[in-house]
Structure 1
Amino acid sequence: MNKPSSALLDIKFAKIKAVTFALRPAPLQESIEALKKRLGPTPGVYSAEPAVLDFSGWNNAELNEHGVELKAYAEMLKAAGVLLVEVRGQSEALETQAEELGVRFETAEADQAEPEAELKSAPPPETPEAAITETQTADESDSTPVSHPAVPSFDNPRRTMVIDQSVRSGQKIYAQGADLIVMGQVSAGAEVIADGNVHVYGVLRGRALAGAAGDTQARIISTCFEAELVAVAGYYLTFEGGFPEENRSKPTLIHLDHGTEPAVLRLKAINIR
């Protein structure tokens, strides 16, 4: 006897992980061009990634004034290999456009309420300072003061993902909410991505993308630099024309120079010997 279909299938609802583009009010074409510039070359930083367009900073008057058309955004994202899966805002007209495209619509108020609930329910993380205090209490039998090295504090502590092997062509590694350390080569055609910093202790021949969630302070370090593309927080460099001699096959730091407007991605030779 055949089993009923309900016994063969479970349905579960889960949130997807997607890159969110928070757009500021601007004329339609200018807004699209700014987004296209941030996406970079194709294939690029966000290829094959689901995307959310966030219009929560726009009011109805601005949406009407600038003639926002979700279809134009969706077509541009599709051409860049990015799939639009959700739109956020506070406009009924925007919601109607999203429904016509078959894209999920989320109101800005609902989106803002959820992180607060997560913060309240999560226990406070144990800090390095707390760990030192516990050690002193357990190990010291008298009140003699003991000096300890200063423990640096960070506003946004991150985890670290370590890859103990080379990354082959066609592979894609993403360290979400973390720094990424690769103990080996990143082959041509491979891609390593991190919301934090990217360290490659080997030859970097593929693509390295740091600050994928928008951290403009993120950096990329390679002990042997021969990359196809590097990017920090959406700012990118490609090397079809070759590499600067001071960086070719040498230890290199890639970072954003905030002393210019707009910011510029820089390569800096480093001495690690």
Structure 2
Amino acid sequence: MNKSSSAPLDIKFAKIKAVTFALRPAPLQESLDALKKRLGPTPGVYSAEPAVLDFSGWSEAELVEHGIELKAYAELLQAAGVLLVETRGHGTALESQAEELGIRFETGQADQAEPEQEPLPVQADAPSAAAKPDTEPGLIQANHPAVPNFDNARRTMVIDQSVRSGQKIYAQGADLIVMGQVSAGAEVIADGNVHVYGVLRGRALAGAAGDNQARIISTCFEAELVAVAGYYLTFEGGFPEENRSKPTLIHLDHGTEPAALRLKAINIR
């Protein structure tokens, strides 16, 4: 019997969208601390996401001077549930470290085509404001995949049922409407706005592609975590009385210095 010449497997190369953490030159421990704070609680805003570490702003001398060890970053990301898939930068030393870890390496020029965003400083317990480019060297920038361009207004994804614990819904390039509750342990994410017409007990992340004008609306607010464009709040210490189990709007307040994530009670009756 002649064997078929066609292979049972086709291999195709695909470009994977990933969160890019662009780091500024700083000593290793300071840089790791900044990354840890930016990652937030575990599970956090970037859990289960592929990630790229971008050292394009570092010279080879700065990488050596600050004792940069790529393995330390990879272990920190892994502990936060984030998978490091690529490193960008300059120099054979960094490339060798990436090769030892089995991580793809690209030269710094790979980032030039991506849109620039103003870096964000990081805090462990509260959202932060955008920083001026030349303030503190240890701060990092988290660039989410770009929002696709559409001919019409931004699309809307509608989920007409509850989101159960362990489920993760992502509305890429769209707003998200959930017609039911989001259970504890569930996660709803949108590049645009997130609307939950039910009890929000899990995690809600709006503006995942960097839209700092995005908002979250819940008719019954009991969330574990909320985030807008990477700024996050958790509620281990409880909820403000005016928001507990009530209709609530979550948005970024740009009128303060630093900017802050705000909860606002809303009247929907």
Give the equivalent residue in structure 2 for 1:264: 260
2:239 is the alignment partner of 1:243: yes
2:76 is the alignment partner of 1:80: no
Contact in 1 for aligned 2:217/2:248 (Cα 8 Å): yes
Give the equivalent residue in structure 2 for 1:195: 191
Change (3 A) 1:272 1:55: same
Cα deviation, residue 3, structure 1: 3.9
Change (3 A) 1:125 1:246: closer
Identity of aligned residues (%): 89
Quote the Cα distance in structure 2 between the aligned partners of 1:44 and 1:12.
32
- Specify which of 176, 198, 204 is matched with residue 200 of structure 2: 204
Matched positions, count: 236
- Whichever structure has more helix as a proportion of its residues is 1
Between structure 1 and structure 2, the one with the greater Rg is: 1
Where does the alignment leave 5 or more consecutive residues of structure 2 unmatched? 116-148
Give the equivalent residue in structure 2 for 1:107: 107
Name the amino acid aligned to 1:182: V
Cα deviation, residue 261, structure 1: 4.4
Quote the Cα distance in structure 2 between the aligned partners of 1:125 and 1:171.
27
Contact in 2 for aligned 1:254/1:266 (Cα 8 Å): yes
Cα deviation, residue 111, structure 1: 4.4
Give the equivalent residue in structure 2 for 1:168: 164
The TM-score, its normalising length taken from structure 1, stands at 0.79
Cα deviation, residue 114, structure 1: 8.4
> Bigger relative contact order, structure 1 or 2, given CA contacts below 8 A and separation 6+?
2
Quote the Cα distance in structure 2 between the aligned partners of 1:56 and 1:253.
38
Deviations 1:221-247 (A, max 9, x none): 111111111112222222222211100
Where does the alignment leave 5 or more consecutive residues of structure 1 unmatched? 116-123, 128-156
Give the equivalent residue in structure 2 for 1:233: 229
Contact in 2 for aligned 1:175/1:195 (Cα 8 Å): yes
Cα deviation, residue 30, structure 1: 1.4
Aligned ranges for residues 1-273 of structure 1 at < 5 Å?
Answer: 1=1, 3=3, 7-113=7-113, 126=151, 158-273=154-269
The TM-score, its normalising length taken from structure 2, stands at 0.80
Change (3 A) 1:114 1:246: closer
Give the superposed CA RMSD.
Answer: 2.3
Cα deviation, residue 213, structure 1: 2.6
Contact in 2 for aligned 1:40/1:234 (Cα 8 Å): no
